[in-house]
Amino acid sequence: MTINQGIAVRGFSSIDVPDASIVASCVHCGLCLNECPTYRVLRVEMDSPRGRIQLVNAVQEERLALDSPAFLKHTFQCLDCRGCETACPSAVPFGELMTDTRTVVAAGRRVPFRLRVGLSVLVRPRLLRWVSRVLALLQRLRLLPGRLPLPVRLPLRDPRQKGRIGGDVVLFTGCVMDAWQPEVHAAVEEVLEASGATVLRSGDAAGCCGALHAHAGLDAAARALAGRVMAAIPADVPVLVDSAGCGAALRAYGSLVGTPEAVAFASRVRDVHEWLAENIHRMPAPVGERTTVIVQDPCHLRHAQGCHASVRSVLAPYAETVELDDEGLCCGAGGAFSVLQSELASEVRLRKTASIKRAMATTGAATVVSANPGCAIYLAAAGHVVRHPLEVVAERIRGPQGGAHGG
């Protein structure tokens, strides 16, 4: 986190001030506007990266109060998709600026109740699994409102975890995916083992990565969770992540925590597709009929980590891939964004689903693959069949007689 210390700027606190050099690095060219999902929906300058930078600058120059409704509204309507960073010719670290700004705001503002409750559950793995089982039962009884951001079918049983005490790689299992999509971890582990790796799951000892806490500006909580994750994972093996949001968060531990140990840990973190693409020669031949899938890039894989091409590389021997025509525009999930900003999130999702439908119409593909649980859940709620890319790979390795993972 880049925070200038001890500089008195009215509007921000005298201790934590977003780095003015980030604001100054924006040349106001506007190339970011078309890459910003909220700007494309709202067509409001202050809901673009350029506009939000101007708002931060206005607070720094005492022209706008930190707690003004306009500042808070537009700052927290950012999805943190980082699409603007990919488009920016000046390499403005806009995501860093938003995180820093939200951290300052959160220090003097109460976290919304729904978010506070949700975050408190995420950091307690056993409680999360218990709540998930209750929700799964209510879901089977059709007693849950359809608008809740949940998987189409929550697992009723706890996922079985192997008791291995060591491995060539660590699979980071996190919180939401471990409780809600255990079949994804099972498929990923199957693919890794098919490549010859032995897999150690991070499990409850590591728990939540802290991504949603960081997005909400809860910097201290995010650092504490980062410390727990790093302490729980062996220091001598690659850390592989099958959730784009978690991977981006773990890779940011160096700047978040600011210690040499955190920097070293972040350097060992890889998206699982990256690792498999580098070891594709170790993968077994596909079995059964080749399938066609539509690839949806999670923002934190495409923009934050920049390794979305590896998904295509891993899928190539096993499936035909179809590209969307929206140039990687965000789906609208945005971590907790689809809960806290549900109407705007739905408008953003409409553009993604329109692109998916066009791809379906021209290719006949019926399945979307996405390497992030938030994207998968949010797009499935719109009626699409969404799977993790490595679920497709696992099926092609296993063959039609191999069965499927379920929960």
Give the predicted TM-score (pTM) of the model.
Answer: 0.91
Distance (Å, whole) CA 117 – CA 234: 31
The backbone torsions φ and ψ at residue 288, rounded to the nearest 5 degrees and listed phi first, read: 90, -170
> What is the identity of the amino acid at 36?
C
Using the predicted structure, report yes or no on whether residue 9 has a pLDDT greater than 60: no
Buried b (16+ CB within 10 A) or exposed e, 309-338: ebbbebbeebbebbebebebbbbbbbbbbb
Task: Please write the tens of the pLDDT for every residue from 259-297.
Answer: 999 999 999 999 999 999 999 999 999 998 999 999 999
Q: Which of 188, 185, 159, 178 lies closest to 393 in space, CA to CA?
A: 188
Give me the count of residues in the chain.
407
Q: Mean pLDDT throughout 140-158?
A: 85
* pLDDT score for 8: 34
| Average pLDDT for the chain | 91
- Sorted by where each begins, the domain ranges of the chain are 3-107, 115-276, 284-398
Task: Please write the tens of the pLDDT for every residue from 209-244.
Answer: 999 999 998 999 999 999 999 999 988 899 999 999
In a 13 Å sphere around the CA of 171, the CA atoms on its Cβ side amount to 28
Using the predicted structure, report yes or no on whether residue 83 has a pLDDT greater than 70: yes
Distance (Å, whole) CA 190 – CA 182: 12
* Range name among 115-119, 145-149, 165-169, 293-297 with the lowest pLDDT average: 145-149
Q: Tell me the chain's radius of gyration from C-alpha atoms.
A: 21
Quickly state the pLDDT bin for 88 (edges 50, 70, 90): very high
* Range name among 7-11, 242-246, 343-347 with the lowest pLDDT average: 7-11
What does DSSP say about strands 367-369 and 385-387: parallel, antiparallel, or unpaired?
parallel
> What is the identity of the amino acid at 183?
E
Higher pLDDT, 7 or 114: 114
- Residue 303 DSSP code: T
* pLDDT score for 14: 47
Q: Which of 217, 126, 139 lies closest to 175 in space, CA to CA?
A: 126
- Residue 47 DSSP code: G
Using the predicted structure, report yes or no on whether residue 1 has a pLDDT greater than 60: no
Distance (Å, whole) CA 186 – CA 201: 10
User: Is 1:102 a contact under the CB 8 Å cutoff?
Assistant: no
Q: Mean pLDDT throughout 364-373?
A: 97
Structure tokens at 332: 């609208």
* pLDDT score for 150: 86
∠ at Cα 150 (331, 240), nearest 5°? 70
Superfamily of domain 3-107, CATH level 4: Alpha-helical ferredoxin (1.10.1060.10)
The backbone torsions φ and ψ at residue 201, rounded to the nearest 5 degrees and listed phi first, read: -80, 145
Q: Which of 36, 42, 34 lies closest to 347 in space, CA to CA?
A: 42
Handedness of CA 74, 76, 82, 85 (dihedral sign): positive
